[in-house]
Amino acid sequence: MKITDHLKNATNTLFSFEILPPLKGQSLKELLEGIEPLMEFKPPFVDVTYHREEFIYKKHPNGLLEKVSTKKRPGTVGICAAIMSRFQVDAVPHILCGGFSKEETENALIDLNFIGVENVLALRGDAPKSEGRFTPESNGHGYASELVEQIVRMNHGHYLHEETENSFHTDFCVGVSGYPEKHFEAPSMKFDLKYLKEKIDKGAEYIVTQMFFDNQKFFDYVQRVREAGIDVPIIPGIKPITTLGQITMLPRTFFLDFPDDLMDELEKCKTNSDVKNVGIEWAIQQSKELIVAGVPSLHFYTMSKAEATYKIAKEIF
């Protein structure tokens, strides 16, 4: 079922979450068993991230460096198939601009269609860690709006190089990302919303937000999105803080702020266990307030570790 239909048919706020593929060489069995407890809360869909190739430099005995491509977390398509088969829920793979040509994108979408995937989340993706800025692939997309456009064209039976008469029409529901504290590359929120609207105008049907820790920033964001003429569902993204390292890593990596009240509590923490307790309680209160506000779903960023999300969901669903 399409995400928009899940949201339309729901009588209460839904529960959903995002997982990472296992590192190369690790088993899928551990991942599936790890998220199985979350099925207690009847998620209608689960997002599966995609990780573009990265590069490492291998030093040879003669001193020369060889640039070697590596993908640390392959398997998104296979994981989607496994999740749908084992749990009978919809899988939502992430589709990236970065690392893909248009032809590779088309082929990936064909594969996803063949295994029964009906929903995708279209993202530009980040630059490789070895590069300072995002650069599209040769014959690839530079913006998520272009990726949305390609997916929607396939929904109308238009492929890149083949005759389009009598071509099979895919039927993907396309989601896109939103940033309550604005995308870090956008010079202003108004500028950011301009490009969000472009993605919607090209056919995206729902928005999932970046994580945030201040609900007021989400509420203000929703108001500005609506004022910009965007009326699709907006799903808030929630991430419980679980380690001492995340106190500095999350704001630095995702360009977001912690509220002062949250930081006051985190500063008292001496261990990861202390942080996890604070993070879970904060996310519970966040979630309760968002449910009262009538959000269509709560979408949890689990990093494939279900324990904290399970404790939160147990309190609110």
Q: Are 239 and 267 in contact (CB under 8 A)?
A: no
Q: How many CB atoms lie within 10 A of CB 110?
A: 13
- How far is 173 from 111, CA to CA, in rounded Å? 16
By three-state DSSP, how is residue 106 classified?
A: helix
Q: How far apart are CA 230 and CA 223, in angstroms?
A: 10
What does each C-alpha distance from 60 to 65, 66, 159 come to in angstroms? 6, 7, 43
User: What CA–CA distance (Å, rounded) separates 223 from 238?
Assistant: 19
Is 162 one of the annotated active-site residues of the chain? no
Name the phi and psi angles at 184, rounded to 5.
-65, -20
d(CA 92, CA 103): 20
Task: Please tell me the distance from the alpha carbon of residue 109 to that of residue 50, in angstroms, as a whole number.
Answer: 13
Integer Cα distance of 190 and 305 in angstroms: 35
DSSP 3-state percent helix, strand, coil across the chain (nearest 5): 40, 20, 40
**Residue from 18, 106, 146, 205 carrying the catalytic annotation:** 18
> Among all residues, which ones are annotated catalytic?
18
